[in-house]
Amino acid sequence: MHGPIGRPAYGVLQPEDLSVASRRRFLKAGTFMFGFAVLARAGKAAAQSQGEEPSLRAITPGGPESGAAFNGFAPGGFIRIPSEGKITFIIPSTEMGQGIYTGEAMLLSEELEVTLDQVEVVPAPPNELLYSQPILKSQATGGSTSTRGAWGPLRQAGAAARTMLIAAAAQRWNVAPDTCFADQGRVYCRANGQSLPYGALVQAVRSQPVPKDVPLKKPGQFKLIGRSLQRVDTPSKVNGTAVFGIDVKVPEMKIAAIEICPAQGGRLRSMEDRGARNVPGVVDVLRIDNAVAVVADHFWAAKKGLEQLDLRWDFAGHEKVSTERIFADLKHASENGKPILGRELGDADKAMDDAHSRVEAVYELPFLAHATMEPMNTTVHVRPDGCDIWVGTQAPTAVQGAAAKTLGIPPEQVMVHNHLIGGGFGRRLVAESVVQAVQFARQVPYPLKVIQTREQDIRHDLFRPAYYDRIAAGLGPNGLPVVLTDRITGGSVLGSYLPTGLPDGTLDTDAVEGADRTPYSIPAVRVDWVRRDPPIKVNWWRGVGPAHNVYVVESFLDECAHSVGRDPVDYRRAMLKDNPRSRRVLDIAARRAGWGTPLPPRTGRGVSLHDSFGSHLALVCEVHVTPAGEVQLRRLVAAIDCGQTVNPNSVQAQIEGGVLFGMSAALYNAVTIQEGQVEQSNFNDYRQLRINETPPIEVHIVQSTEDPGGVGEAGTVSAAPALANAIFAATGVRLRRLPIDYGALMEKDAGKRVIAPPALALGLGAAALAWSGDKGAEA
Amino acid sequence: MKGSRLKRFGLIALIVASLLLVAAIAFFAWPAKLEAVAPSPGQPTGRALVEKGRYLATAADCVACHSTPNGEPFAGGLAFKLPFGTIYSSNITPDPKNGIGAWSDAEFVRAVRHGVRNDGQQLYPAFPYTAYTHMSTDDVLAIRAYLNTLRPVNQAVAVNQLSFPFNQRYLMRAWKLLFMPKQPLRPDPNQSAEWNRGAYLVEGAGHCAECHTPRNLLFGLKSGQKFAGATTQGWKAYNLTSDPETGIGDWSVDELTRYLATGHTPGRGAAAGSMGEAVSLSLSRLTPQDLRAMAVYLKTIPAKPGTPGSKINPNPPLMTASTAFAPVRAEVGPDAMGLRIFEGACASCHGWDGSGLHSPYGALRGAQTVNDPEATNLVQVILHGSEISTPQGGASMPSFGRAYNDAEIAAVANYVLGHFGGKAATVTPERVAKARREGE
Amino acid sequence: MTTILINGEAREVDVPPDMPLLWVLRDVVGLTGTKFGCGIAQCGACTVHVDGKPARSCVLPVSAVGNRNVTTVEAVGGTEIGRKVQEAWLDVEVVQCGYCQSGQIMSAAALLGRNPAPDDAAIDAAMSGNICRCATYPRIRAAIKRAAGLPAETV
Ligand code: FES
Ligand code: FES
């Protein structure tokens, strides 16, 4: 799974990269841009390579038309060393909260021998040639691949640059390079005791040959990697200066509120806009095939204008779409459809026939919205000679390509200014909202910022698919599975994502990931997939395939363990003889969580385990289920082996956030559709976990020198199964459908009981007051 | 419970209806009278007439019932779910086929004041002609003139779905005999002109009694309990009599006027549900003089007891002991599901001290809704949210019914009841389930 | 023309009275630190201080502000408490995507302004209206305690 080192994946140094002409070639495709670090000090001429155009034109009115041409050292796509001032790192992955600016900067810094406070980071412009990521094979951020993909190439890039700087200094001092070393942005000579800052070498270094396959540091030699360094993107996020896509300001920009046809696939039939145009501040009303936009000086006027529109939609038959029908259809397809094989190991049918006992179950998972904290938005300026797009995207080249296609112009004419992302979770891997914004913006001469209301954002999200899975196991005499079969039925995310689609009969590996390979040794396995694309668009969602499949497999293995009266941790451990890394995290999580120690009534612990994204993660969840069916999270304990950690604190943060993100969905979320329309709209009906529902969470990280695994999504994958297993332990109720159905967890007769804490049920709270004697929790 | 009442109702209705049938075939078969109508000399004409009609149509809140939420105004189609079936409001735009474009003025006046369709068929009293019968011919003609200016909407409305015998329109003649006011309202010379104007608006166009008076088994208003409060489609219309405990006895005319105009009065809470809609679409658009007149009249309605135990507690101990931003410590604990939901979803707007943090509409102190021990509207407003928009501004509350289950809604309703009303918790998950069904 | 006091400065704005303060700040005054998350007071991303008290600017009509002082995340660091909160936020490394954090910080600073030593219940009461989709909640709790100089008993 790890990117081959040496392959020019990222902009790994190549001699031609250093020639001005080739840089021009690269950079013509997508102009150099500056992200938050520079925006915070807009106007400052930042490091730019010769020939690279400045991109701040549109962001800083009256700013220098062309920043001083960059005269420093620009080895490849990632590093810009000026003769004075800070070094700039061009970070290939998008920052959406996972700390990747810091992590990738650490990889570069480690080998370049600089400290993080000597550098600034900027997001990479769209340029597949320079920034295509080796695992995803495109310039995109997702699938917990960033650190894994960058691990080799970025360190190589840093090491090569360092080697060249040392060589340049050695040449100047007339000493052998191996008498020199680099540290904190300077080259030192052991022989003569002299030193030079990198900045002083930027001219000399250009004539140095580019080294190939520089040996990289061994784990014991790391100065930065493995340390919890402070993140580089956070200071601006605590003082309000960080610029997310939604915060972009461009001169002459107008702001649009939009309404999209309530039923996906429908179109606008007619619009009466007189009322909207009369709203003060409204400047335009625009329409495209399936949406309208009211443009105004500010969003409020636009939104008020939108409310004044009289819109008639043509649902074009899509009003027949409902989640009920979709699930009935999935069930039918599961039972009658033609499966595509995901993985076959051994003879599953025979093993099933020979098994000592059999367990089987059906699991159902709902459509899910991303509900990123930052609602979808795009700012577009379509000019006669091209187009500028300011947006936070996980896939800059996809945005560029989609916009170019919409406008019928070459991609080079589309400049994508990538921004910080207020939550990606997969939502911002697709460019459909950008295309829509471009369709509106091409109708007007001014830059147009399109902001979706939360309601539009949720209703017109592209959802994680719903699934209907039939899983079965044959158990041996010792109770352990001798065979596992899983028939997965659902839509193809990859098919929806790829511009070319996925041909029928082809396996979408995402659909089976997490079920096809489990951490366990099971002699016979058959995992197959019936493709049934729903009548609505689907998309990646945090945790991708494993977030769906691991819930099913790990819940089901719990069922198997209970069916033979075995402890769920012991049962799993017995299947992990060949997987020491997984066994270790399972043991750590169980021990730290006090697995097996007594708990109060209706309280239980559940465990989940998986190997996804190159990491091994065990989670123990402890819940209490009240008589009314309320599920209270009491404690979460995770143990992860993700190989070499780059920034342990970021790993911990990703696991904490990822687990809770998964809990939020498992507890509360399902997108449902009636008459073609999404029924959820905002946080009042698409509920999110809040701080008062959040339990203490511990993350134990196993020290390891294996190559790094992905962590951004691992926690999300663990959440639902650990939760469902804990609920079973607490109540004996097995929930095979998400989200958690509180109603099924209610004690008998609880429906007839008044739901109130004793103090209030007794009356008026006066008693409670007398008991507590205090005057307000904060008095 | 609902079923047995329904059956009883059906049975009695049948008996009554059959008796009347046998006794007075002629009574039913006789063609409806159509009286000629003419405006009085004082009736304005032209634009002034249309304007007068628009105002009165607003006062009568025609649009509320004769439109669907996303439909064309006045084109009808709103469903009224009654125990014996569903009735749909009619299209009253001037469309000749589906609307009332082909009706004569006399037919229109007869329909509004006597509940008879242009073809002589009886109208169901979901159309409040028992109130509109008090309106003057001039006023009804003015409304007609206004409706004539609307864009004709060529849109048929759904056919009523009523079970036998309720689908027999002629039976409404018997119903009217029982429940139609014997004569239109006459001005009371012993009262001020203001009072008389208020009476005319409240009893006539405003049709306040329709919601605020309980109904008997035949769906007629219980005259003995007029204005004492009633529950319709899961929402409660509160006691409008001068009962000091459960009615508006301790409201001042100013407070009442303000409530009608804005849907809110400090220390009295905010209107929601149908009352919120009545304020948004109708009351807030009336003149201050008319609203005041209505208040003056309402204040003179003799006291009748309403829901027992619903006396407003303006200073319940838990609320009083809390600050705007934090509850009293005693409320916190592992059992406090209601509090937890409140602090996540509700406290940002309502606060804990009852004052409302961003808008006076969010103030819960003194609101009837949080003091009704049955928590009828409280549960509905949590489930379905609420919206008021007046020319002076407004407020809205989102609906929470989709994200929170019955036990959770019960918990947060009980919490609010205890904290802001000082009332004992009464809401069970089953009650919430029932409220969901009724409020739909 | 309405005059509002923002971060100690009087600003003249030509906006309708019912326009929520959020859009005045973001689109008229140009202070984009205050975020739009839901528009219905459910997420807290838009939290500002009005005379030191937390308010959801997405539902607060600009006309309701009157002559009270509005403080946004851009200026909260100018107060002792705001500075401590921001420092604690960095020390504890609370932030992930950061989009909710302006609102979190404003809610936390308001909390510490009225309660210098909040316990878990007080933190819940003050912070439960702020959603974080990255779920940085455990660290928010820890950072508030750190800013308050309290020992952090949880991770
Ligand atoms: S944007 Fe104001 S609370 Fe969400
Ligand atoms: S940090 Fe991303 S939403 Fe809170």
For residue B41, the model assigns a pLDDT of 95
CA angle A337, A340, A342 (to 5 degrees): 135
pLDDT in tens, A579-598: 999 999 999 999 999 999 99
Please report which confidence band the pLDDT of residue B83 belongs to, taking 50, 70 and 90 as the band edges: confident
The average pLDDT across A547-572 equals: 98
Asked if residue B280 lies in contact with residue B286, where contact means CB atoms within 8 angstroms, the answer is: no
Query: Which ligand is nearest to the Cα of residue C37, counting in written order?
Result: 1
Cβ of C42: how many Cβ atoms within 10 Å?
Answer: 29
Question: Above 70 in pLDDT, residue A23?
Answer: no
Q: What percent of chain B has pLDDT over 90?
A: 76
Q: Does residue A420 surpass a pLDDT of 60?
A: yes
Closest CA to A468 of A669, A320, A677, A326: A326
* Structure confidence at residue A351 (pLDDT): 97
Backbone angles phi, psi at B60, to 5 degrees: -85, -5
Distance from the C92 Cα atom to the nearest Cα atom in chain B, whole angstroms? 24
Question: Collapsing DSSP states into helix, strand and coil, what is residue A622?
Answer: strand
Sheet strands (E) in A92-131: 119-123
The shortest CB-CB distance from A657 to any of C30, C38, C96 is to C96
Q: Residue A737, exposed/middle/buried by CB under 10 A (0-12, 13-18, 19+)?
A: middle
Write down the pLDDT at residue C153: 63
Which residue in B322, B331, B341, B358 has the most chain C C-beta atoms within 10 A of its own C-beta, making it the best mutation to test that interface? B358
Indicate the DSSP class of residue B381. Answer: H
Per-residue confidence (pLDDT) for residue B168, from 0 to 100: 87
Cα C22 to ligand 1 centroid, rounded to whole Å:
9
Q: Which of C3, B410, C95 is closest to A101 using CA atoms?
A: C95
**Encoded amino acid at A78, one letter:** F
The answer to whether residue A25 scores a pLDDT higher than 70 is: no
A72-76, A93-97, B269-273: range with lowest mean pLDDT: A72-76
A347 versus C154: the higher-pLDDT residue is A347
Quick check: B387 pLDDT over 70?
A: yes
Interval C101-123 mean pLDDT = 97
Ligand 1 site, residue C36, Cβ cutoff 6 A: yes
Mean pLDDT for chain C overall: 96
How many C-beta atoms surround the C-beta of residue B210 within 10 A?
18
Residue A16 confidence (pLDDT) above 60: no
Q: Å from A768 to nearest chain C CA?
A: 16
CA of B76 to the centre of ligand 1 (A): 36
B300-342 tens-digit pLDDT = 999 999 889 999 999 999 999 999 999 998 898 888 999 999 9
Mean pLDDT of A421-434: 96
Q: Does residue A2 register a pLDDT over 60?
A: no
In this predicted structure, what is the pLDDT of residue A75? 82
Structure tokens at A567: 């402890």
Establish whether residue C129 lines the binding site of ligand 1, counting it when its CB lies within 6 angstroms of any ligand atom: no
Mean pLDDT within A277-281: 96
Pocket test for ligand 2, best of A238, A370, A373 (most atoms within 8 A of CB): A373
Q: What is the pLDDT of residue A26?
A: 35
For chain B, how many residues are written? Answer: 440
Residue with tokens 């799974």: A1
Residue of B325, B327, B358 lying closest to C59 (CB–CB): B358
CB contact under 8 A, B343 and A757: no
On average, the pLDDT of chain B sits at 92
Answer yes or no: are the C-beta atoms of C54 and C77 closer than 8 Å: no
Q: Judge contact between A696 and A635, C-beta under 8 A.
A: yes
Please report which confidence band the pLDDT of residue B2 belongs to, taking 50, 70 and 90 as the band edges. low
CB B325 to CB C54 under 8 A? Answer: yes
Alpha carbons A667 and A629: distance in angstroms, whole number: 12
Name the band, by pLDDT with cuts 50, 70 and 90, for residue A774. Answer: very low
What does the DSSP assignment read for A494-512? HHHHSTT---TT---HHHH
SS (H, E, C) C80-115: HHHHHHHHHHHHCCCCCCCCCHHHHHHHHHHHHHHC
Q: In angstroms, rounded to a whole number, what is the distance separating the alpha carbons of residues A215 and B416?
A: 67
CB pairs under 8 A between A and B: 160
Q: How confident is the model at residue A758 (pLDDT cuts 50, 70, 90)?
A: low
Mean pLDDT of A177-185: 97
Q: Do C101 and A238 touch (CB under 8 A)?
A: yes
Average pLDDT estimate for B208-220 = 92
Most C-contacting residue of A236, A307, A373, A772 (CB-CB within 10 A), to test interface? A373
> Residue C12: how many CB atoms within 10 A of its CB?
8
